[in-house]
């Protein structure tokens, strides 16, 4: 069994900050979204888990399977239950197709440049693709592009501040999570 944090234990402040951010984002997801409850659960689960994934990726440059894979399963179960209750299986199929497309896109990027993109980012697209894909392929592409733009903007700011250079590696997960949350919370 692999620990969540392999580069040493985190402080109590780290965990309290993560718990607080998760609580705030999950509450915000519950309040902002106007979808019926089962569909609303996917962005709530993603919002509750996002801060932990982002913090681990920021700290350790990895997105652990112990979180990313159950998150994808939870998002799928929530959207499946919504499809069963509403009878809208076409929307579920679209979400699954968008998730698979997102994973394939990031897998190709990973194969082309494994030193620039981690496989955790590929697995993160399972859940991000489901959350965004519930609204269709255009929203999925917009969420991914938004996350990539957040990462690019962060990188440029770090270069301007002298804290990074062109070949520096940044954790992409937090930016992809932010792009998913922004669109996911606004559209549900």
Residues 17-58 pLDDT 10s: 888 888 888 887 777 766 677 888 898 899 999 999 999 999
What residue spans define the domains of the chain? 12-187
Stated pTM of the model? 0.88
Residues 89-140 pLDDT 10s: 999 999 999 999 999 999 999 999 988 899 999 999 999 999 999 999 999 9
- How many angstroms separate the CA atoms of 127 and 81, rounded? 16
């Amino acid at each position: 069994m692999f620990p969540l944090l392999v580069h040493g234990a985190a402080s109590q402040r780290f965990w309290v900050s993560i718990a607080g951010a998760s609580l705030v984002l999950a509450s915000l997801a519950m309040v902002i979204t106007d979808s019926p409850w089962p569909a609303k659960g996917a962005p709530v689960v993603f919002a509750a888990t996002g801060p932990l994934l982002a913090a681990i990726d920021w700290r350790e440059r990895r997105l652990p399977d112990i979180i990313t894979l159950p998150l994808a399963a939870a998002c799928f179960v929530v959207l499946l239950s919504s499809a069963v209750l509403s009878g809208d299986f076409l929307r579920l199929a679209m979400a699954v197709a968008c998730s698979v497309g997102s994973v394939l896109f990031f897998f190709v990027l990973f194969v082309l440049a494994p030193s620039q993109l981690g496989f955790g980012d590929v697995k993160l697209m399972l859940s991000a693709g489901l959350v965004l894909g519930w609204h269709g392929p255009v929203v999925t592409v917009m969420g991914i592009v938004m996350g990539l733009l957040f990462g690019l903007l962060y990188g440029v700011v770090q270069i301007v501040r002298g804290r990074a250079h062109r070949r520096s590696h940044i954790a992409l997960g937090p930016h992809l999570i932010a792009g998913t949350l922004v669109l996911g919370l606004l559209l549900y």
